[in-house]
């Protein structure tokens, strides 16, 4: 996508439009691309505006925020997956024992 090219050209202005970062900014929404160019541009501009706001609020360096939030989402997904696995096994009355 064009956002990747823009980000590497001017990271202080542009960031990559990524579904993991999008999920962090808009937790109850799914990233959906429109076939309409104006809709795509508006989506990207709103995304950058909201990303910049979050970076200010949470003291995240905007120029690397796409990488930081991407990594955070990956870590969060792993934690959530482990939690679901753990709860499932508790419900099944399985014990976690070490076989040392």
Residue 66 token pair: 């796409």
CA distance 40 to 70: 21
On the question of pLDDT at 59 being above 70, the answer is yes
pLDDT grade for 97, boundaries at 50, 70 and 90: low
Look at residue 73 and tell me whether its pLDDT is greater than 90.
no
How far is the CA of 43 from the CAs of 51, 53, 54, in angstroms? 12, 15, 16
Segment 50-55 mean pLDDT: 95
pLDDT confidence tier of residue 7, bands split at 50, 70 and 90: confident
Distance CA 42, CA 73 (A): 24
pLDDT number for residue 26: 92
Predicted confidence (pLDDT) per residue in 20-43, tens digit: 899 889 988 989 888 999 999 999
* Longest CA–CA separation in the chain, Å: 61
């Amino acid at each position: 996508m064009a956002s990747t090219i823009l980000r590497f050209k001017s990271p202080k202005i542009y960031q990559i439009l990524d579904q993991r970062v999008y999920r962090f900014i808009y937790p109850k929404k799914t990233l959906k691309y429109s076939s309409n160019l104006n809709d795509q541009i508006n989506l990207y501009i709103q995304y950058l505006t909201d990303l910049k706001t979050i970076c200010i609020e949470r003291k995240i360096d905007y120029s690397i925020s796409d990488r930081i939030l991407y990594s955070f989402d990956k870590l969060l997904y792993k934690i959530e997956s482990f939690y679901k696995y753990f709860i499932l096994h508790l419900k099944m009355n399985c014990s976690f024992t070490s076989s040392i």
